[in-house]
Structure 1
Amino acid sequence: MRALEARRKAATEIFKETVRKDGKFGITYTTNLAGRVPGFIDYVMIEAAALKRLPEFAESSYESRAKAVVRDSRVTPLIRWLKHNSLSYPQIGKLICMSKGNLERITRVAEWLKSIHVKGRFLGVALLRSGDNILERSIDELEEIVGYLESHGVRREWMGYVMSRCPELLCYSMEEVRSRVGFYLDMGMNEKDFGTMIYDYPKALGYYTLEEMNQKVNYLKEFGLSTDSVGKLLAFKPQLMACSIEDRWKPLVKYLYYLGINRDGMRRMLVIKPMVFCVDLETVIAPKVRFFQDIGIRNDAIGNMLAKFPPLLTYSLYKKIRPVVIFLMTKAGVSKQDIAKVVASGPELLGCSIVHKLDLNVKYFLSLGIRLPQLGEMIADFPMLLRYNVELLRPKYQYLRRTMVRPLRDVIEFPR
C-alpha cells in the first residue's frame, strides 16, 4: 500500500512538472489542477507500469515512463487549449477525469460544440452538464439531435445558445428527444412557436423530467384551460415550467382565494399576465398587497383590481406603484380619502409614466383653469381621465366650449 501511494505521489509530481514546463503554467495553477485529476494520475500509473513490458522501456525508471505517458497523452496542449477557451481548472480537471485517458474525446466534442456556436465559458458548462456519457457519443449522434430540433423550428444559429443553457439535451437518446418535442407539439403548438419558445427558455425542453412537465400541464388545466390554451400559454411564457407546484403555485392560489379571486379570475390573470405565476409570493406580491391595504383598499376590492389588471403585480412597488400614488396625492389633487377609490377603480393608472403621461395631463387640465382640488375630485370620479391622450382631449374640450357653449363647470362636474 505504501509503495502504491509512493507511485501515486511520484506520478502527481511528474504530472505537475511536465505540465508546468511544457505548458508554461504557474506552480499554483499546476498544483491546483493536479489535485483535480486523481483519475488521470491513476491512468498515468497504470500506463507507466504497462510500458515496462515494452523492450524500449524495459530498463527505464518509473519516473521516465510516467513522464512519457504524460507527454504522449498530449494533456498539456489540451489544458492550454481548454484554458484559452475560458474553462477553469476545476472544469478542466473534471473533463480530464471524464475522458478516462482518452483525451482526444474532449477536443472532438469541444470542437463540435464550437461549430454550433457554443462560446466562451459556456463551452465548459455544456461539456460538464451534458452528462458523463457526452464524451462517449459520436458526432453523428449529436448532429442527429441538433438536426431534429432544427427540423422542428429551432434555428441552427440558435443552437449554441440553446445548448449552452440546457446542455442536458445532448445526453438524451433520440427517442427521449422526440418524446419531449412531441410533448409540446401535441398541445397544438406549431413549429415556429416551439422554436421561439425553446430559444426563449431552453430548459423547458431538456431540464425537467417528463413526469414533472405533465404534472404542471395538468395543474394549469385545473384553472379551466384547454390543452391548446396551455400550449399557447407555455409558448408565450415557458418559464412557467420552472415553477414548483407545491412551493409556488399552491401558496399563490391560496393567497388569491383569500383576496376573493375565484378560479375564473385566476385563469384571466394566468392568460393575461402569466408572469404573475412565476414571481415570488412573499417578496414580490405580498408587499404590494400590503401597500394597497395601507392606503385603504379593502381585500375584496384588491382582488377585483388584480383580476381586472394582472400586470399590476409585476410592477415595481418602489419604482412604479408608490411613486404614482404619491404623484396622484401631491401633484394631481387626489385626497387621502379618495386615493383608495382611485387606485381600486383605475389600477391601470399605476402603469402610466409620470413624466410622459400623468404630469402632461395634469398640466393640461390645470391650464384650462381647473383648480387642483377640483382636478382631484374629477380623477376620483373618473380615474381614467389621466390616461387619455392630450391630443384627443383638446378637440373634445374645444367642441364643448365653442360649439356647445358649455361652461367649464360642466367639464369639472361631468369629466366622463
Structure 2
Amino acid sequence: YTELDPALIKLVEKYPTPLTKEELNDPRVNLIYTDGRRFVQEQLKRRDSRPNYDLVLLNLPAPSTLQLNRFYTVEFFHSIKKIVKPDGIFVFSLPGSLTALSTELRNLNGSILNTLKEVFPQVKIIPGDNNLFLASSNSVEISAKIFQENLKKRKIETKLLTSSYLNWRFDERWFSWFRQAMGDFSPVKKNYDLSPRGLFYQLTYWNALSSPAFNKFFQFLGRIDFFSIFLVLPLFIIFIFPFLKLRPKYSKFIPLYAVLTTGFLGTTFDLIFIFVYQSFYGYVYHHLALLVTAFMAGLTIGGWLMTRNLGRIKKDILSFIKIEFFIVIFSLAIIPLLISLKESRNESTFVFFLLASMVGFLVGLEFPLANKIYQAKELESKEVRKLESSAGMIYAADLFGAYIGALIVSVGLIPLIGVVQTLILLAVLKISSLTFLSLLRT
C-alpha cells in the first residue's frame, strides 16, 4: 500500500476504528510512503523485474488536477501492465450514473476507456454511480456467481456485498444500458502524459455539476484546436506592427509587452517543468521545491549579471533582441529534449533543475535591460518618470504576464493542446515581441 502523506496514516493510527486497527496490524499489509507512480517505476528498475502482482488497485479521485491526471495516461497504464501478471487485474473507478450519462460524463469515461484499451486488450466495466474499470492482458471473467463463490471459498463475511446486491449490480440490463448510453466514443481523445486531455474532460464535468451556465463556454473550448490558437498570434503581429510603425509614440510600450510575454513564459515553463517532472519521476515534495529554487537562482544570477554590465552595453535594443532570440530557440529546443527524456529509462532529474535555472537566467537578463530601454523611450517622448516608477511599470508587466500564464496554461492550454504545442505557442509569442522590438531598433 503506497501512501504519499505519512501524516494521514499517523492520524488514522492516533484515532483508530476496529476496522482500521485490524487492517494496519495485518502482517500482509506493507505500507510504503512514496508516490504511487514513483513506486511503479522503481519496481520496473529492479534487476529481477517481472510481472508479479495479481491485482493492482488505483484508489484515487478522477483526473481533476495535473497531479492526478498522470495516473490515467497511456504511459502509466503501460507501466502497470508490466508489473501485473498476464492473468492479473488492474482496477480503478470513475464517476458514473445508472440513470443518465451526460455528454460531459460520457467524454470523461470515453477518454479514459479509449486510453485503457490502447494498453490492455481486455477491459470490462461494472456500471454504477462509480464505474469500476477492470483491465487485464487476458480475459476478465467476473460475475455475481463468481464473486459469491470466491467470497464463500475464502470465508469472507460482508454486510454490503450480499447475494441480492451482487445480483442487482451484475444484472445484464445495466451493462446493456451502459453500452447504449456510451454509444460511439471512439472520437473522444485519449489521455497522455504530455497531453492531459482527461483533465479537461473532468473539469468540464465538474463545471456541468457546479456552474452549468458556463457549459457552452466549455463546449467552445473543447472545439478549439492548436491551429486555431496558433493563427491568432500571426494575425496579432500583422495587425499591430503597421499600427506601431505609423504611431511611433506608442513604441514605448514595446518593452512592457516584451516583459509581459517573458513573465507569461517564465510561469509557463515553471508549471510545465513541475508537471512533466511529476509525470516522469513521481511526486516528490522537496524535488518540486528544488525546481522552483533553481528557477529563482537563475533569475537572480541573470538579473545581477545584467545589472552589473548594464553601463557597458551600448546597443541596448540589439542586446534585448538577442536575448529574445535565445528564448525562442530555447522554447523549441526543449521539445525534442522532453520527448527523449520521456522515452529514456534513466532518471535524469538533474536535467530539469538545469533547464529551470536556464529559464530563470534568461528571464532575469531581461528586466534591467527592459527598464533601461523603457526609460530611454520616455525621455524621447518627454514623459520622464522617476526610476522607481519605471521599474514599477516593468515589474507590473511581469506580474501580470505571470498571472495570465498561471491562469490560462494550467487549466487551459496544457489540458487542451498539450505540452508540446504549448511550447510552440511560447516560441511564437516571443517571436511577436521580438518583431515589435525590431521597430525600436529602426
Structure (1 or 2) with the greater helix fraction:
1
TM-score range, shorter chain: under 0.3
Q: TM-score, normalised by structure 2?
A: 0.23
Q: TM-score, normalised by structure 1?
A: 0.24
Structure (1 or 2) with the greater strand fraction:
2
* Larger Rg computed on CA atoms: 1
